[in-house]
A and B are shown apart, each in its own frame.
Chain A
Amino acid sequence: MSSHLLHSSFIPTAPPSLRRRPGCASPLPRTPLLVQSKIREIFMPALSSTMTEGKIVSWIKSEGDKLSKGESVVVVESDKADMDVESFYDGYLAAIVVDEGLSAAVGSTIALLAETEEEIALAIAQSKKSSSSAPAAPAPPAPTSDAPKVFDEMPSPAPAVKASVGTNALGSAEHPASEGGKRVVASPYAKKLAKDFGVDLKGVFGSGPNGRVVAKDVEAVLAAAKLSGGGAKVQASEPPKPSGVELGSVVQFTTMQGAVSRNMVESLAVPTFRVGYTFTTDALDALYKKIKSKGVTMTALLAKATALALVKHPIVNSSCRDGKSFTYNTHINVAVAVAIDGGLITPVLQDADKVDIYTLSRKWKELVDKARAKQLQPNEYTTGTFTLSNLGMFGVDRFDAILPPGTGAIMAVGASQPTVVGTKDGRIGMKTQMQVNVTADHRVIYGADLAAFLQTLSKIIEDPKDLTF
């Protein structure tokens, strides 16, 4: 299923350029660095008469790169313009002191320039010594020009993740476009992403035309790598820190987290019960494989199947507003829970029973993009009449969901897994099965209602031809 759900809140998602690099934890050098003769400082230049500080837009060169006199090293934003700053000397860019996105006062050191390669290490030592709060971080990379770029761009737990991406070749499949692995065919954006996040494209499975690696393949690898961070694949021996969280601190809820908290407490006022069911998904998986290339997602398929079942069971699509009546909803709006950075939101696929699967998939992509950008309009996340929550992509086989107030039922979807099952004719066979668990408001929805609904849904999923009408 789509990787957006993998954006869990405890994984830092700030762009790498905003993060500090191990070894230069101090964003602004507090004192001018004391450096020995052959190591020169690169200062923040005064680009205009009114400039007092400048922001580093981007480093054109990376640490370890050779510089020639007159070559552009860094782009600095002043109060008036972005300007290239050129090197005065030949040498090597030994250490970057002020990272991209950060500001420094005019005249302060933003990087160190070593005259020879041998002096790079010395320069690094200097820069570390003077960084007052340098943590016990992994040593900076060997400062050769072929040092893995990822060290420059990822936070401390990341190199380990990177290593797993590179060596454990997720999806060992070698794609057809590669001529036996000799060549990697990847789209420009996929390459850009791979470069930015230090993913080795050789190991990436390409889902594009002729096995081409496209952007979403790289994103999938990144998501998987994040998930496995701290797992068996991580090579580094140090226990990975729960990234991005300062232990021992108390952090206030964000607005969204506050809203989630209120809703969760409110949900305790509703008498709920649960009914589970196991679906065989071989046919659904086959259908998914067939139409995946047209942009159809598993989320859209499940939402569509659920909506079609709800058409036959309007009671499961109803809700209890006042404790005295049924509210039968006109529309079947399937909300799907999405974990986003720092919270949870339920974008709604409106009229999921009526909209065709391709449009629904596109709509879903649009909603997820907006959710990530925190641009969902209220009617795009508050109008759900039935909710889906899927943790299958994490390998969860079954779980229990809390009913969002104002709706009648929520379905928790587990992973689709190969399972040994006995068939009615007494044989044993392998089938792919998926467990679901529906939580419902017993004031309006009774056990038999849910059971009948699940039976209908099971039939749709096991014979999914109607999903693509």
Chain B
Amino acid sequence: MQASVSSLYTPHPPHTIFRSNSDIQFCGLRREALGFQSISQFRNGESHRIGIVSTKPRSGKLTVFSASAAADNGSRRATSFDYDLVIIGAGVGGHGAALHAVEKGLKTAIIEGDVMGGTCVNRGCVPSKALLAVSGRMRELQDEHHMKALGLQVAAAGYDRQAVADHANNLASKIRGNLTNSLKAIGVDILTGFGTIVGPQKVKYGKVGFSENVVTAKDIIIATGSVPFVPKGIEIDGKTVITSDHALKLEFVPDWIAIVGSGYIGLEFSDVYTALGSEVTFIEAMDQLMPGFDPEIGKLAQRVLINPRKIDYYTGVFATKITPAKDGKPVTIELIDAKTKEAKDTLEVDAALIATGRAPFTKGLGLNNINVETQRGFVPVDDRMRVIDADGNLVPHVYCIGDANGKLMLAHTASAQGISVIEQLTGKDYVLNHLSIPAACFTHPEISMVGLTEPQAREKAEKEGFEISIAKTSFKANTKALAENEGEGLAKLIYRPDTGEILGVHILGMHAADLIHEASNAIALGTRVQDIKFAVHAHPTLSEVLDELYKSAKVNPHVSKSVSEPVSV
């Protein structure tokens, strides 16, 4: 799940995403000719590639986004190093970086101390999607009202827990296999063991108790990811007090489960557990549930995903002590008020899932050998993912991507950061725009977002002295959504009425996770509302929700007042 690599609760990653990017030139296709051309400008000239050519306004360099994969690892062999690039960690970030590195002709090795695929494939995004696929169908089959409205009659739905768990596990192994094969196919060396940086451009690896090998590399990427964060006082037994790692195995479905943390991870699991018959209690330290979401989306999410379900919640409380079930006693959870620290309540439940975010996995990396100090475990980096040492200087040849740097803890962020590093290594100054990275929560219905939330946009607008406007459309007005009898949902666009710049898009509704990319691409490419509103959408499709959203936006260079005020009475 995206969820498992996000941190919406504690600890917060270094707050880097919203800083001013005005001095950075993003790679973009805006106002440039798009076209397919056959070019052979690459080293060795071994193949003709089809690519999208973009002329970067400032430098005028040619860039190719190639769609074809390179055939061999390291045709451009380093002279004095074992490898051009060594990546520590074979998760989604390391994998994405490795594929791109080979394509760019770098001789690449990847070091993995655990299983290939990392959190996303084995304990996160991937298996959780299998569980959510089941929960979505269960929910649909159990919703008599919905079925009746469609004219369907279905006998009572049931499930086989083990079979559901197997589905998740099989999916993970399949994806893990695919990922491993894709690396092997292009000749990336997979080195087994935990990697440690022993000095500049030098990494040792090996399994505990076995002999260790040392390899040299021109450049090193740290992509070691994260592990579930467990606050102090909480005792994980893996059976009744669990993290997402255990929950994804679905070893049992408790009658009543408390979920600590109401970010993506917690929310997705509440969707799974309630569909399978559990009752859920959320424990959230913030004053409201789903603190990471746009408030309006959060409010609707609460109305759609929380209130009608067998879920209750405590907000503004910390779980200070959680004791696993033992000797016939239930799991006990001691709650204190987040502000006054006074004891508030004690819960007795059948299980507790700790979904309080994720902590970077950066121990044993040998960072002290290159004078790097982690910040709450995160590896400090600049906006080009270059590692910063304890004195504030850049460490040459060492990069850190993904959850380990904490910029934006999402699988696809890691991969995108990896690609941006490879671009720099191969001579192109490419800075990833984190504001164009979409995020999704795969509940039923789904939630997705890209860019700024409304409060963030308002803050930015105030600081920089511009106006913002909001446009909203409902799934209730969408033909396809109504045909599916899934009219519940909202799409929201935050934009600048003076320039038409898209600042953020938030969607709650059927297939929201698939719908967001039109908006994230628009942000990445700098497409303005007044331009994208002429793009054609097939009818009838859910994508028309966004079409309508763009069309309802009012861009006017002279507009000075926000057009959408809250409806008042």
Interface pick from B13-21, B26-34, B111-119, B561-569: B561-569
Q: Which of A43, A72, A369 contacts B156 (CB 8 A)?
A: A369
Which among A42, A82, A183, A366 has the highest number of chain B CB atoms within 10 Å? A82
Q: Which of A83, A192, A215, A366 contacts B567 (CB 8 A)?
A: A83
Assess whether B569 is in contact with A73, with CB atoms less than 8 Å apart.
yes
Q: How far is the CB of B269 from chain A (nearest CB, A)?
A: 14
Tell me whether A45 and B569 are in contact in the complex, defined as CB-CB below 8 angstroms, given that A187-B255, A375-B153 are known contacts: yes
Q: How far is the CB of A187 from chain B (nearest CB, A)?
A: 5
Assess whether B156 is in contact with A212, with CB atoms less than 8 Å apart.
no
Q: Which of A188, A366, A375 contacts B280 (CB 8 A)?
A: A188
Assess whether A81 is in contact with B569, with CB atoms less than 8 Å apart.
no
Residues of A within 8 A of B346 (CB): 183
Bound complex: CA A302 to CA B559 (Å): 76
Q: Is A427 located at the chain interface by the 8 A CB criterion?
A: no
Q: Is A88 located at the chain interface by the 8 A CB criterion?
A: yes
Assess whether B279 is in contact with A187, with CB atoms less than 8 Å apart.
yes
Q: Is B330 located at the chain interface by the 8 A CB criterion?
A: yes
Q: Is B82 located at the chain interface by the 8 A CB criterion?
A: no
Instruction: Mark each residue of chain B from 468 to 504: 1 if its CB lies under 8 Å from any CB of chain A, else 0.
Output: 0000101011000000000010100000000000000
Assess whether B156 is in contact with A188, with CB atoms less than 8 Å apart.
no
Q: How far is the CB of A339 from chain B (nearest CB, A)?
A: 20
Q: How many residues of B sit at the interface, in one of the four size bands? A: 20 to 34
Assess whether B476 is in contact with A88, with CB atoms less than 8 Å apart.
no
Instruction: Mark each residue of chain A from 80 to 95: 1 if its CB lies under 8 Å from any CB of chain B, else 0.
Output: 1111111110000000
A window 38-86: CB within 8 A of B: 42-43, 45, 47, 70, 72-73, 75, 80-86
| A contacts with B: majority SS | mixed
Q: How far is the CB of B178 from chain A (nearest CB, A)?
A: 39
Which among A47, A70, A80 has the highest number of chain B CB atoms within 10 Å? A80
Q: Is A16 located at the chain interface by the 8 A CB criterion?
A: no
Tell me whether A80 and B144 are in contact in the complex, defined as CB-CB below 8 angstroms, given that A45-B569, A86-B569, A212-B348 are known contacts: no
Q: Is B382 located at the chain interface by the 8 A CB criterion?
A: no
Tell me whether A85 and B567 are in contact in the complex, defined as CB-CB below 8 angstroms, given that A188-B256, A366-B156 are known contacts: yes
Assess whether B310 is in contact with A370, with CB atoms less than 8 Å apart.
no
Residues of A within 8 A of B303 (CB): 75, 82
Instruction: Mark each residue of chain A from 352 to 380: 1 if its CB lies under 8 Å from any CB of chain B, else 0.
Output: 00000000000000100110010101000
Assess whether A84 is in contact with B567, with CB atoms less than 8 Å apart.
yes
Q: How far is the CB of A32 from chain B (nearest CB, A)?
A: 14
Q: Is A210 located at the chain interface by the 8 A CB criterion?
A: yes
Q: Which of A70, A81, A209 contacts B566 (CB 8 A)?
A: A70
Q: How far is the CB of A265 from chain B (nearest CB, A)?
A: 30
Residues of A within 8 A of B280 (CB): 188
Q: Which of B144, B330, B569 contacts A373 (CB 8 A)?
A: B144
Bound complex: CA A185 to CA B303 (Å): 25
Bound complex: CA A214 to CA B330 (Å): 15
Q: How many residues of A sit at the interface, in one of the four size bands? A: 35 or more
Instruction: Mark each residue of chain B from 274 to 289: 1 if its CB lies under 8 Å from any CB of chain A, else 0.
Output: 0000011100000000
Bound complex: CA A124 to CA B347 (Å): 40
Assess whether A81 is in contact with B474, with CB atoms less than 8 Å apart.
yes
Q: How far is the CB of A12 from chain B (nearest CB, A)?
A: 20
Q: Is A191 located at the chain interface by the 8 A CB criterion?
A: yes
Assess whether B279 is in contact with A189, with CB atoms less than 8 Å apart.
yes
Which B residue's beta carbon lies closest to that of A212? B348
Assess whether B153 is in contact with A85, with CB atoms less than 8 Å apart.
no
Bound complex: CA A369 to CA B144 (Å): 11
Assess whether A209 is in contact with B476, with CB atoms less than 8 Å apart.
no
Which B residue's beta carbon lies closest to that of A48? B477
Q: Is A314 located at the chain interface by the 8 A CB criterion?
A: no
Which B residue's beta carbon lies closest to that of A214? B255
Residues of A within 8 A of B350 (CB): 209
Residues of B within 8 A of A208 (CB): 255
Q: Which of A45, A81, A86, A210 contacts B348 (CB 8 A)?
A: A210
Q: Is B311 located at the chain interface by the 8 A CB criterion?
A: yes
Q: Is B528 located at the chain interface by the 8 A CB criterion?
A: no
Q: How far is the CB of B210 from chain A (nearest CB, A)?
A: 47
Bound complex: CA A189 to CA B310 (Å): 5
Q: Is A177 located at the chain interface by the 8 A CB criterion?
A: yes
Q: Is B235 located at the chain interface by the 8 A CB criterion?
A: no
Bound complex: CA A375 to CA B299 (Å): 34
Residues of B within 8 A of A84 (CB): 299, 566-567
Which A residue's beta carbon lies closest to that of B303? A75
Assess whether B312 is in contact with A192, with CB atoms less than 8 Å apart.
yes
Instruction: Mark each residue of chain B from 255 to 283: 1 if its CB lies under 8 Å from any CB of chain A, else 0.
Output: 11000000000000000000000011100
B window 149-191: CB within 8 A of A: 153, 155-156
Residues of B within 8 A of A72 (CB): 299
Assess whether B255 is in contact with A188, with CB atoms less than 8 Å apart.
no
Residues of A within 8 A of B476 (CB): 80-82
Assess whether A88 is in contact with B474, with CB atoms less than 8 Å apart.
no
Instruction: Mark each residue of chain A from 136 to 147: 1 if its CB lies under 8 Å from any CB of chain B, else 0.
Output: 000000000000
Residues of A within 8 A of B256 (CB): 187-188, 212
Assess whether A177 is in contact with B348, with CB atoms less than 8 Å apart.
yes
Residues of A within 8 A of B566 (CB): 70, 84, 86
B window 517-569: CB within 8 A of A: 566-569
Bound complex: CA A375 to CA B350 (Å): 33
Q: Which of B312, B477, B567 contacts A80 (CB 8 A)?
A: B477
Bound complex: CA A375 to CA B474 (Å): 32
Which among A70, A81, A84, A86 has the highest number of chain B CB atoms within 10 Å? A81
Assess whether A185 is in contact with B348, with CB atoms less than 8 Å apart.
yes
Bound complex: CA A366 to CA B154 (Å): 12
Tell me whether A188 and B281 are in contact in the complex, defined as CB-CB below 8 angstroms, given that A84-B299, A208-B255 are known contacts: yes
Q: Which of A185, A188, A373, A377 contacts B310 (CB 8 A)?
A: A188
A window 178-209: CB within 8 A of B: 183, 185, 187-189, 191-192, 208-209
B window 122-141: CB within 8 A of A: none
Assess whether B144 is in contact with A188, with CB atoms less than 8 Å apart.
no
Residues of B within 8 A of A209 (CB): 255, 330, 350
Residues of B within 8 A of A177 (CB): 348
Which A residue's beta carbon lies closest to that of B153? A375
Bound complex: CA A377 to CA B330 (Å): 41
Q: How far is the CB of A69 from chain B (nearest CB, A)?
A: 9
Residues of A within 8 A of B156 (CB): 366, 369-370
Bound complex: CA A88 to CA B565 (Å): 12
Which B residue's beta carbon lies closest to that of A179? B346
Instruction: Mark each residue of chain B from 341 to 358: 1 if its CB lies under 8 Å from any CB of chain A, else 0.
Output: 000001110100000000
Residues of B within 8 A of A47 (CB): 567
Residues of A within 8 A of B348 (CB): 177, 185, 210, 212
Assess whether B299 is in contact with A80, with CB atoms less than 8 Å apart.
no
**Could you write out 6 A-B pairs with CB less than 8 Å apart?**
A81-B476, A82-B474, A84-B299, A85-B568, A86-B569, A212-B348
What 20 new A-B contacts, CB under 8 Å, besides A84-B299, A215-B310? A70-B566, A75-B303, A81-B477, A82-B488, A83-B567, A84-B566, A85-B567, A85-B568, A86-B567, A86-B568, A88-B568, A183-B346, A185-B348, A191-B312, A192-B312, A209-B330, A210-B330, A212-B348, A375-B144, A377-B153
Closest 3 CB pairs of A and B: A81-B474, A188-B312, A189-B310
